[in-house]
Chains A and B, each alone.
Chain A
Amino acid sequence: MQYVVGVDIGGTFTDVSVIDRNTGREVIAKSPTTPHDLIEGLLDGVQRAAAQFQLTLPELLAATERFSHATTQTTNVMFTWQDGAIVGLLTTRGFGDELLIMRARGRVAGLGLAERRHLRLTDKPAQIVPRDRIIELAERVDRSGKVLEDLREENVERAVERLIASGVTSFAVALLWSHQNPAHEQRVLEVIRRVAPHAHVSLSSDIAPVTGEYERTSTTVVNAFVAPTLERYLVRLEERLRANGLQVPILIFQAGGGVNDIPSVLPVSTIESGPAAGMVAVQKLAEQIGRPRVIATDVGGTTFKVGLIVDGRWSMAPETVINQYTLLSPMIDVVSIGAGGGSIAWADAGRLRIGPESAGAAPGPACYGWGGTRPTVTDADALLGYLNPARFLDGRIQLRLDLATEAMRDQVADPLFGGDVIAAAAGVRRVVDSQMGDLIRKATLERGFDPRSFLLAAYGGAGPVHAASYARSAGVRQIMVPLSATAFSAYGVVISDTVRSVQRSISPELGRDDASLAASYDEVCAQAIAALNTQGVSSESITLNRWADMRYERQLHDVRVHVSDSDEDGAAPDRSLVTGLSQAFADRYEVLFGKTARLKDANPRILRIGVDATAPSGIAAGAGTLSPDSSPDTAASAHPEPEGSRPVYWPEDSGWLATAVYDGEALRDGHVVSGPAIVEQPGTSVAIPPRARARVDSLRNLIITLDDTQGTLLSEREDTGAVALGSMK
Chain B
Amino acid sequence: MTKVDPVLFEVVWHKLLDITEEMGIKYMRTSGSPVLVGAYDASTGITLPDGRLVAMGPYITTQAHVLNLIVESVLRTRSVNPGINPGDMLICNDPYLGATHQPDVATVAPVHHSGELRAWVGSSGHWLDIGGSEPGGFNMNAESVFDEGLRLPPTKIVEGGEIREDIVELIMAQIREPLAELDLRGQLVANEVGRTRLLEIADDVGPAVLDTVMRRGIDHVASGMRRRLRSLPDGVWREVQYLDHDGHRQNVRKIVCTLTKRGEELTLDFTGSDPQVNGFANCAAGGLRAAVLSGVCIALGYDLTWNDGVSECVTIKAPRRTIVTAEYPTPVSMSTISAIIVTLNLTLVVLSRMLLASPKHHEQAMASWCGTSLGVSMVGVNRDGILTVAPEASHFAAGCGARSYADGVDTGGIIINTTANIPSIEATEDAYPLLYLFRRQLTDSGGAGRFRGGVSGEVAITPYDTTEPLSTSFAGVGSVTPNAVGIAGGMPGATVRYLRFEDASAIGSDGARLVGTLADIPGPRTAGPLNSSKIEFDLRTVEYHNWQGGGGFGDPLDRDSQKVSDDVRLGLVSAEQARTTYGVVLDDGLDRDATTALRAELRRGRLARSHPFVEAYPLPKDSGEGEPPSGGESVGYWDILTIDQAADSISCTGCGYRLTRATADVRTGCVVEEVPAWKTGPIHGGDYVEASAVPIAMRLFYCPGCGRQLEVDLIVPGGIGPSSVVTRGGTGAES
A-to-B contact residues, CB < 8 Å: 93-98, 100-108, 113-114, 116-124, 130-132, 136, 138, 140, 142-143, 148-149, 176-177, 211-215, 349-354, 416-417, 426-427, 430-431, 434-435, 438, 442, 445-446, 508, 552, 554-557, 592-594, 596-599, 711-715, 722-728
Asked whether any CB of chain A lies closer than 8 Å to the CB of B397, the reply is: yes
Asked whether any CB of chain A lies closer than 8 Å to the CB of B14, the reply is: yes
List of A residues within 8 angstroms of B419 by Cβ: 105, 108, 116
Q: Does the CB pair B7–A430 fall under 8 Å? A: yes
B443 to chain A, nearest CB (A): 11
Asked whether any CB of chain A lies closer than 8 Å to the CB of B431, the reply is: yes
List of A residues within 8 angstroms of B457 by Cβ: 97, 101
List of B residues within 8 angstroms of A727 by Cβ: 161-163
User: Known pairs A107-B413, A434-B11. 10 more at Cβ < 8 A?
Assistant: A95-B436, A103-B397, A104-B398, A116-B418, A120-B363, A120-B364, A123-B406, A143-B429, A508-B384, A593-B26
List of B residues within 8 angstroms of A114 by Cβ: 303
List of A residues within 8 angstroms of B431 by Cβ: 554
Q: Does the CB pair B436–A352 fall under 8 Å? A: no
5 pairs, A vs B, C-beta closer than 8 Å? A101-B439, A117-B297, A120-B403, A148-B507, A727-B163
Asked whether any CB of chain A lies closer than 8 Å to the CB of B523, the reply is: no
Q: Does the CB pair B28–A725 fall under 8 Å? A: no
Asked whether any CB of chain A lies closer than 8 Å to the CB of B211, the reply is: no
Q: Does the CB pair B11–A430 fall under 8 Å? A: yes
Known contacts A124-B412, A557-B37; is A142 also within 8 Å of B429 by CB? yes
The residue on A at minimum CB distance from B429 is: A143
Q: B418-477: which have CB < 8 Å to A?
A: 418-427, 429-431, 435-441, 457, 460, 464-465
Q: Does the CB pair A725–B413 fall under 8 Å? A: no
List of A residues within 8 angstroms of B439 by Cβ: 94-95, 97-98, 101
Q: Does the CB pair A104–B420 fall under 8 Å? A: yes
Stretch from B187-195, B268-276, B609-617 that touches the partner: B187-195
The 6 residue pairs across chains A and B that have the minimum distance between CB atoms? A555-B32, A94-B438, A597-B30, A104-B397, A93-B516, A427-B7
List of B residues within 8 angstroms of A123 by Cβ: 406, 409, 412
List of B residues within 8 angstroms of A552 by Cβ: 32
Asked whether any CB of chain A lies closer than 8 Å to the CB of B18, the reply is: yes
Stretch from B75-83, B174-182, B490-498, B656-664 that touches the partner: B174-182
Q: Does the CB pair A103–B424 fall under 8 Å? A: yes
List of B residues within 8 angstroms of A445 by Cβ: 22
List of A residues within 8 angstroms of B32 by Cβ: 552, 554-557
Asked whether any CB of chain A lies closer than 8 Å to the CB of B265, the reply is: no
B-to-A contact residues, CB < 8 Å: 5-7, 9-11, 14-15, 17-18, 21-22, 25-26, 28-34, 37-38, 58, 158, 161-163, 178-179, 181-182, 185-186, 188-189, 192-193, 196, 200-201, 203-204, 220, 223-224, 227, 297-298, 302-303, 306, 363-364, 366, 384, 396-398, 400, 403, 406, 409-413, 415, 418-427, 429-431, 435-441, 457, 460, 464-465, 507-508, 512, 514-517, 569-572
List of A residues within 8 angstroms of B403 by Cβ: 120
Q: Which of B162, B203, B430, B437 contacts A94 (CB 8 A)?
A: B437
A94 to chain B, nearest CB (A): 3
Q: Which of B185, B204, B411 contacts A711 (CB 8 A)?
A: B204
List of A residues within 8 angstroms of B400 by Cβ: 107, 119
CA distance A364 to B403 in the complex (A): 33
CA distance A169 to B465 in the complex (A): 40
Q: Does the CB pair B223–A349 fall under 8 Å? A: yes
The residue on A at minimum CB distance from B14 is: A435
Q: Does the CB pair B364–A215 fall under 8 Å? A: no
Q: Does the CB pair B163–A728 fall under 8 Å? A: yes
Q: Does the CB pair A213–B425 fall under 8 Å? A: yes
CA distance A140 to B181 in the complex (A): 36
CA distance A117 to B508 in the complex (A): 45
Q: Does the CB pair B427–A212 fall under 8 Å? A: yes
B127 to chain A, nearest CB (A): 14
Q: Does the CB pair B426–A726 fall under 8 Å? A: no
Q: Does the CB pair B426–A211 fall under 8 Å? A: yes
The residue on B at minimum CB distance from A106 is: B412
List of A residues within 8 angstroms of B10 by Cβ: 351-354, 431, 434
Q: Does the CB pair A594–B425 fall under 8 Å? A: no
List of A residues within 8 angstroms of B406 by Cβ: 123
Q: Does the CB pair B364–A213 fall under 8 Å? A: no
Q: Does the CB pair A104–B6 fall under 8 Å? A: no
Q: Does the CB pair A124–B440 fall under 8 Å? A: no
Q: Does the CB pair B220–A349 fall under 8 Å? A: yes
B673 to chain A, nearest CB (A): 31
Q: Does the CB pair A120–B366 fall under 8 Å? A: yes
List of A residues within 8 angstroms of B181 by Cβ: 599
List of A residues within 8 angstroms of B204 by Cβ: 711-713
Q: Which of B186, B203, B303 contacts A597 (CB 8 A)?
A: B186
CA distance A2 to B532 in the complex (A): 77
Q: Does the CB pair B185–A596 fall under 8 Å? A: yes
Known contacts A438-B14, A725-B158; is A142 also within 8 Å of B508 by CB? yes
B44 to chain A, nearest CB (A): 12
List of A residues within 8 angstroms of B424 by Cβ: 103, 211-215
Q: Does the CB pair A434–B302 fall under 8 Å? A: no
A174 to chain B, nearest CB (A): 11
CA distance A243 to B155 in the complex (A): 78
Q: Does the CB pair A725–B192 fall under 8 Å? A: yes
List of A residues within 8 angstroms of B161 by Cβ: 725-727
Q: Does the CB pair B196–A120 fall under 8 Å? A: no
List of A residues within 8 angstroms of B182 by Cβ: 555, 597-599
Q: Does the CB pair B411–A142 fall under 8 Å? A: no
Q: Does the CB pair A554–B189 fall under 8 Å? A: no
Q: Does the CB pair B570–A107 fall under 8 Å? A: no
Known contacts A94-B438, A350-B6; is A442 also within 8 Å of B22 by CB? yes
CA distance A136 to B514 in the complex (A): 13
Known contacts A101-B457, A723-B196; is A113 also within 8 Å of B516 by CB? no
CA distance A241 to B14 in the complex (A): 50
CA distance A594 to B30 in the complex (A): 9
Known contacts A124-B409, A130-B570; is A119 also within 8 Å of B415 by CB? yes
CA distance A212 to B428 in the complex (A): 9
List of A residues within 8 angstroms of B37 by Cβ: 556-557
The residue on B at minimum CB distance from A177 is: B426
List of B residues within 8 angstroms of A712 by Cβ: 204
Q: Does the CB pair A94–B516 fall under 8 Å? A: yes
List of A residues within 8 angstroms of B297 by Cβ: 117
The residue on A at minimum CB distance from B8 is: A430
The residue on B at minimum CB distance from A101 is: B411
Q: Which of B7, B364, B413 contacts A105 (CB 8 A)?
A: B413
Q: Does the CB pair A557–B7 fall under 8 Å? A: no
List of A residues within 8 angstroms of B6 by Cβ: 350-352, 416-417, 427
B409 to chain A, nearest CB (A): 5
CA distance A159 to B673 in the complex (A): 47
Q: Does the CB pair A103–B422 fall under 8 Å? A: yes
Q: Does the CB pair B411–A176 fall under 8 Å? A: no
Q: Does the CB pair A120–B302 fall under 8 Å? A: yes
Q: Does the CB pair A131–B570 fall under 8 Å? A: yes
List of A residues within 8 angstroms of B413 by Cβ: 104-105, 107-108
B202 to chain A, nearest CB (A): 10
CA distance A175 to B26 in the complex (A): 34
Q: Does the CB pair B441–A100 fall under 8 Å? A: yes
Q: Does the CB pair B516–A136 fall under 8 Å? A: yes
The residue on A at minimum CB distance from B194 is: A723
Known contacts A132-B570, A554-B431; is A728 also within 8 Å of B426 by CB? no
Q: Does the CB pair A104–B29 fall under 8 Å? A: no
List of A residues within 8 angstroms of B25 by Cβ: 446
List of B residues within 8 angstroms of A723 by Cβ: 189, 192-193, 196
A511 to chain B, nearest CB (A): 13
CA distance A119 to B364 in the complex (A): 10
Q: Does the CB pair B409–A131 fall under 8 Å? A: no
Q: Does the CB pair A728–B38 fall under 8 Å? A: no
Q: Does the CB pair A148–B512 fall under 8 Å? A: yes
List of A residues within 8 angstroms of B441 by Cβ: 97, 100-101
CA distance A442 to B23 in the complex (A): 11
